[in-house]
Amino acid sequence: MRFSRAYIPTTKESPKDAQLPSHIYLSRAGFVAQVASGLYNFLPLGKRVLRKIENIINEEMSACGALEVDLSFVTPAELWQESGRIEKFGKELLRFRDRKDNLFVLGPTHEEMMVSIVRNRVTSYKQLPLNVYQVKTKFRDEARPRFGLMRAREFVMKDGYSFHSSTEDLDREFDAMEAAYKKILERLGLNFRIVEADSGAIGGTGSKELMVLAQSGEDTLAVCDTCEYGANVEAARRAPRSVFPEAPSADFSRFKTPNVKSIDDLSNFFHVDPYYTLKAVVMRAVYTEGSEPVCFFIRGCDELQEVKARNSVGAIDLVDISESELSEIGLIPGFIGPLDQDKIRFVMDKDTLNATSMICGANEMDYHFVGVDLSVMKDAVFADLVTVQAGDGCPHCGGKMEHTKGIEVGHIFKLGTVYSAPLKAEFLDENGRAQPFIMGTYGMGVSRLVAAVIEQHHDERGCIWTHATAPYLVNVMVSNIKEESHLAYAEELYNTLLSRGIETILDDRKERFGFKMSDAELIGFPFTIIIGKELENGQVQIMIRESREILTVDAENVLDKIEELRR
């Protein structure tokens, strides 16, 4: 491509609405342009990057025997009514009617459609397994689109679905997909972690998220500094504690603790580590029908993890509760404890099971119990309720857990029969009995990956594309196109690079050196070959975008050098 004939509208200033590096640089460098909230146009450079990512996905899927399809973006509402998701998705489904007044929705994901194409067509276990996928525009009418391409309403997703006759075969495919996804992200040149995720409302037997590590990630991850274990904090586990603070020695008694309400107060009052105190967190659990207050008891040194807490009581939401509501129930904030208490449903963190030497509220103003042995509570409900903190032990290898931020670019899921059963998608097994398909689903955010590459690879001058994602690998820049010999040399080099199958752009614009260099850095081509003054000495220069290092090489060696650098 000749730059002079390309459409690459770069700007010196960032759009005022852009906050994230990916949004700023992708806009400034002319990869994308915003149309409306959560809607983006992909300009020529952006489209090239998108296609490169798609190609890599297609290659890896093909290597796994997955079959590409392309399902209608517009989907009949009946399918969504059948699965029950038309209510569940709510306003995120963009609905509209055609001229005959039939209701349709723009596909936000395609489980229903995908099930419908195999239903009644794949009818025997002999036809299984089957893995079909597409790379397709999706639309979710998000309540609040944000962060540029990271959370758009219209976006490109690779969504794959597998169908099996046994859970063992699903497990095999799930592992194969995890390996393929790992390979894709490696090829893209990304630093990522595969983490355990909250299975949440969907249920199923397992899900993993693929997280590109970046400061601006919306998800917080707990990862081991030694082994591969990592999990979304919503689902992270930790090893049991191995070192314990010094335990307070006190016989069980009721102790007057005037105005001692917080864990800090309590810890200071008794000069005891918060580990030996019991924290009460009361929230209102919201269910499909009705709600009730619930108290969660955890050690004073821990923090409540709301997703875990929500799962522990099967609620769809947990909301804050006011002090006046607490008073109505008869609980005294600051002095709530589990002993002799029947005013509220409660769940205890599993780390408090059989705990001794504890201090907890006495359910009486200005009193706490000390020397509490929680083994008396062994019949209570226990669950994992706490947030894994930095420094906690890894549940697998005993290494130290630390926190990091991630961008969710993929999510793979063992669905089981969650969709196939209600949609009555069945096959006949070896015994001639009808069984619902056992399914897996595998998603990857393609347009989000474009942004994720830049979130992870940029500097204050602009984009730094990885070799696999760059719109062009090499930029041949002519410092001054009025130097005819320079231009002629550059044209020849450009053609040679193209003939070797190296994606190259020729910056033949009538602009000054600094202007073109700034553009090259903003756009982020991995290599810019500068044809200029040095050519008089038979030399050219190669600017390596990542380090901004400039190599001076003999003109006759430039091809070899590029071949060497691209490896």
Partner RNA sequence: CGGGGCGUAGCUCAGUAUGGUUAGAGUACUUGGUUUGGGACCAAGGGGCCGGAGGUUCGAGUCCUCUCGCCCCGACCA
Binding-site ranges for RNA (CB under 7 A): 10-17, 19, 28, 34, 36-38, 92, 108-109, 140, 142-147, 151, 157, 200-202, 218, 317, 408, 411, 413, 443, 445, 461, 479-480, 482, 512-515, 517-519, 521-522, 530-535, 541, 543, 548, 550
Q: Which residues pair with 72 in a beta bridge?
A: none
Closer residue to RNA in complex, CB, 110/368: 110
Least Cα distance to 401 among 227, 209, 219 occurs for 227
- What is the closest distance, in whole angstroms, from the C-beta atom of residue 293 to RNA in the complex? 17
| Minimum gap (Å) between residue 317 Cβ and RNA | 5
What is the torsional sign of CA 534, 537, 540, 543? negative
DSSP annotation string for 96-114? EE-TT--EEEE-S--HHHH
41: left (phi over 0), alpha (psi -120 to 50) or beta: beta
- Shortest distance, CB of residue 102 to RNA, whole angstroms? 24
The H or E element spanning position 230 is strand 230-232
443 vs 159: CA distance, rounded Å? 4
Query: Alpha-carbon distance 236 to 394, whole Å?
Result: 10
Give 10 or 389: the residue with its C-beta nearer to RNA: 10
* β-bridge partners, 68: 133
Q: How far apart are CA 458 and CA 215, in angstroms?
A: 12
Q: Which residues sit opposite 136 in a β-bridge? A: 157
Please calculate the CA angle 55-56-62 and round it to the nearest 5 degrees.
90
Q: Is the Cβ of residue 359 or residue 453 nearer to RNA in the bound state?
A: 453
Q: Considering the complex, what minimum distance in angstroms separates the CB of residue 324 from RNA?
A: 19
Nearer to RNA, 157 or 450 (CB): 157
Task: State the Cα–Cα distance between residues 218 and 409, nearest whole angstrom.
Answer: 11
User: How far, in Å, CA of 229 to CA of 222, rounded?
Assistant: 9
329 vs 550 by CB, closer to RNA: 550
Among residues 61 and 224, whose Cβ is nearest to RNA? 61
- The overall longest dimension of the chain from CA atoms, in Å, is 95
Q: Which residue lies nearer to RNA by CB, 34 or 167?
A: 34
The single-letter DSSP state of residue 124 is: B
Q: C-beta of 220: minimal distance to RNA in Å? A: 11
* Minimum CB–partner distance for residue 241 and RNA (Å): 29
Residues 6+ apart with CB under 8 A from 313: 285, 294, 345, 347
CB 112 within 8 Å of CB 423: yes
Neighbours of 319 (CB within 10 A): 10
Q: Which helix (H) or strand (E) covers residue 493, if one does?
A: helix 484-499
Q: Shortest distance, CB of residue 503 to RNA, whole angstroms?
A: 22
**CB of 198 or CB of 392, closer to RNA:** 198
Residue whose CB is less far from RNA, 331 or 531: 531
Query: In the complex with RNA, which residue's Cβ is closer, 230 or 274?
Result: 230
**Cβ proximity of 207 and 414 under 8 Å:** yes
Shortest Cβ 501–RNA spacing (Å): 27
**DSSP single-letter state for residue 166:** S
Minimum distance of RNA from residue 171's CB (angstroms):
19
Q: Which is nearer to RNA, 171 or 534 (CB)?
A: 534
Three-state secondary-structure class, residue 563? helix
In whole angstroms, the minimum distance from the beta carbon of 413 to RNA comes to: 6
What is the smallest separation between the CB atom of 68 and RNA, expressed in angstroms? 18
Contact between residue 494 and residue 529 where contact means Cβ atoms under 8 Å apart: no
DSSP string, 388-416: --TTPBPTTT--BEEEEEEEEEEEEEEEE
DSSP state of 464: -
Output 177 or 301, the one with its CB closest to RNA: 177
CB of 543 to RNA, least distance (A): 6
